[in-house]
A and B are shown apart, each in its own frame.
Chain A
């Protein structure tokens, strides 16, 4: 009797373990999809925002300083650079800048 209970318990444990693994796999897949979507929106918004800011800065500079079209050209390119930097930073490929300044508390 004790033997059969023991074997039944082991069987149940094995079943539960395989079921848990399945569930985890499934959850992992779902999480992956959702994370992928969130990441895509995050990265594209980082990139587009920087290009957009560059273009606006260039346009405003051109309008007030009369340097058209050079401000637009240069700042749009800088915007692309900043966009790439933003994206690389948010995926952690580039470290946050280490700044030479330290606050009074530190």
Chain B
């Protein structure tokens, strides 16, 4: 593997597929997306296959994940929001497992590509818009019209609210993507320092202990970020779904 910190994000075509002049190749990113889905589904299914009243360790892990997302959704969007539980739970598990898989050396981090996170964010916002319009009709547009604004200021305020709404998928996707990208680059740079300093004779070899310590610490931090970003994404999803359920709020 090359030494520069960016090459870990390079896509490579594993199975080139071309349909109608468009590139539909199966890349290493696709492979890890499949792996993420398989791992998430396999873990949840195998741990709940022989479920007992007294859970085993693995079963209680699955139950904790369920309870965690369920209470988050209930807090964020009310009990009506529970109809979106499958969506939120799938998103949370997908992002969490993808982030954690990315922590293995030589593994590809799916969520470090903005197009992937943007697609996930658009899925959320798409659901919000479609469900909001389905349920409230044109009343959903009142989301952009705060009450108690003087008529003169109305067009300006509505424009600002619209831009603020449109910026949501972008901030949602940029946050996840930037965290994963920055974390993995930092890790790689510090790990590179160890090799570079270690090659500089005895003094450098001793000095290389510093970046080594830093790398160990950063690895721990990265595990935390992996979980935290999946959590943040799910919490914001709940918040936006709440807007779709109750645009008056």
What is the interface of chain A, defined by CB distance below 8 A to chain B? 34, 38, 41-42, 45-46, 48-50, 52-54, 57, 75, 78-79, 81-83, 85-86, 89, 96-103, 106
Contacts and interface: CB of A to CB of B under 8 A. Distances in A.
B163 A53 contact: yes
Given A34-B224, A53-B170, A101 B248 contact: yes
Contact of B248 (A41, A54, A103): A103
Contacts of A101: 136, 139, 142, 145, 247-248
Contacts of B248: 99, 101-103, 106
B160 A45 contact: no
Contact of B167 (A46, A98, A99): A46
B188 interface: no
B160 A85 contact: yes
B142 A49 contact: no
Given A50-B163, A50-B164, A57-B163, A99 B171 contact: no
A59 B142 CA distance: 26
Given A96-B249, A103-B248, A78 B167 contact: no
A75 B166 CA distance: 13
B167 A82 contact: yes
Contact of A106 (B147, B166, B246): B246
Interface stretch (B14-22, B57-65, B173-181): B173-181
Majority SS at the chain A contact face? helix
A49 B173 CA distance: 10
A81 B135 CA distance: 30
A82 B174 contact: no
A86 B136 CA distance: 25
Residue in B147, B148, B170 with the greatest tally of chain A CB atoms within 10 Å: B170
Contacts of B143: 99
A46 B173 CA distance: 11
B181 to A, nearest CB: 12
Leading 7 A-B pairs by shortest Cβ distance: A100-B147, A101-B142, A49-B171, A97-B146, A49-B170, A49-B167, A82-B163
A80 B171 CA distance: 14
Given A81-B160, A99-B143, A50 B167 contact: yes
25 contacts: A34-B224, A34-B228, A38-B232, A49-B170, A53-B163, A57-B166, A75-B163, A82-B163, A82-B164, A85-B160, A85-B164, A89-B164, A97-B161, A99-B142, A99-B143, A99-B146, A99-B147, A100-B142, A101-B145, A101-B247, A101-B248, A103-B245, A103-B246, A106-B246, A106-B248
B166 A53 contact: yes
B159 interface: yes
Contacts of B249: 96, 99
Contact of A52 (B148, B167, B179, B245): B167
A86 B167 contact: yes
Contact of B175 (A41, A78, A82, A86): A41
B160 A103 contact: no
A53 B146 CA distance: 21
Interface core residue of B146, B163, B246 (most chain A CB under 10 Å): B163
